[in-house]
Structure 1
């Protein structure tokens, strides 16, 4: 069902969703968290990305409902869109907790999480650009990297939580730090879900 003569509107829509997600992740990675006011600004901006992402998902669903033919299974299109949305929702949820906790202590572990998640977001967009060009087999190298970054985040999670319980004596701070670590690991898992969905699309269409 691939038409190599022109870009498919469904793939263009998926690329917009992915690009919006990537911009939000990069913003979160590069943002300043040193004051409560800065936390508020970051939370508002990420929420704007999340709202725009929801609008893009809605537009895609309307297209699916109106279209008789789709370039790949419509279930796969929707699954990929929802997985991309999960990444952005996860980041919005995490940043909301930063702001809710007035959490201005961004430690090395959190920076590592954000770095690997940002790299995953870049690979996701690269893979979807290849999907838009119908170059399915080339997508695999990006999928492998996304999964590698998820494993790196697993290592960061294990080591950071271990050190947290060894060193932190304040139970409230311990709870806050562990909550943020867990949410960041969840975002990495959502990125892997995107990779798994892309693998399914390759399997069915290559």
Structure 2
């Protein structure tokens, strides 16, 4: 009989992904209804999500220290938990960038990017939910492919928007600010793909 107090690392991965989804949803809402006066409160709300994710990750790693026989290799648990946490951190970095560069209005293409990031985080969560049953799953691979597709969509948007930016503006400050914000947004999608790659690697090692 399974010990009811046994720690479930797969559920812990999903729990971490919820923080990423929450951060992406907050980013979407904040930029869609952008208000500079409300930004400090939104940044604090984002920091609470990020800090909670850090606590959850540290709890997982502390349990791993005492684990006799984890369900997958320790290095894989450490790597995957860190990569999921990196997604939340990268989303927070976007909002911090909006603040430190003193952005007053949000460009329409930025909202397209945040939608992609939100979808990446949702797809990552679905993949992690399915990950627990990876030895029997018939859909996990398709979930990983979907994250890869969204990351490619983000890459294409990044290239197109940076190209458009430099074609249509000669303002060095504007170019610097939006190039950096677009880079931070693209990094969010990359972070989600890193999670998908880790999942795929773990599945291959344990199949």
Using structure 1 for the length normalisation, give the TM-score. Answer: 0.92
Residue in 2 that maps onto 1:174: 175
Deviations 1:81-137 (A, max 9, x none): 111111111111111111112213222221111111111111111111112344444
Task: State how 1:41-56 maps to structure 2 within 5 Å.
Answer: 41-56=41-56
Poorly superposed stretches of 4+, deviation over 6 Å: none
Q: Give the drift of 1:31.
A: 2.1
Aligned residue number for residue 156 of structure 1: 157
Matched, 1:11 2:10: yes
Aligned to 2:205: 204
Report the equivalent of 1:120: 120
Give the C-alpha shift of residue 34 in structure 1: 2.6
SS of residue in 2 equivalent to 1:31? helix
Pair 1:91 & 2:68 matched: no
* TM-score normalised per structure 2: 0.91
| Match of residue 129 from structure 1 | 129
Helix, strand or coil: the match of 1:118?
Answer: helix
Give the whole-Å Cα distance in 2 for the aligned partners of 1:188 and 1:46.
Answer: 18
Partner SS for 2:52: helix
Q: CA RMSD in A?
A: 1.9
In the TM superposition, residue 8 of structure 1 has moved relative to its aligned partner by 5.4
1:48-71 CA distances to partner (integer Å, 9 max, x unpaired)?
111001101110110100101111
Count of aligned residue pairs for this structure pair: 203
Distance 1:131 1:157 in 2: 30
1:31 maps onto 2:30 in alignment: yes
Name 1:65's counterpart in structure 2: 65
Query: Could you say if the C-alpha distance between residues 27 and 125 of structure 1 is closer, same or farther in structure 2, counting changes exceeding 3 Å?
Result: same
Unmatched tracts of structure 2, length 5 or more = none
Aligned counterparts of 1:27 and 1:191: Cα–Cα separation in 2: 17
In structure 1, the gaps of 5 or more residues are none
**Partner of 2:170: helix, strand, or coil?**
coil
> How far, CA to CA, are the matches of 1:138 and 1:103 in structure 2?
41
- 2:188 maps to 187
Residue 182 of structure 1: how far off its partner (Å): 0.6
In structure 1, distance between residues paired with 2:78 and 2:36 = 37
Matches within 5 A, 1:91-110: 91-110=91-110
Shift in Å, 1:76:
1.0
Structure 2 CA distance, aligned partners of 1:8 and 1:82? 18
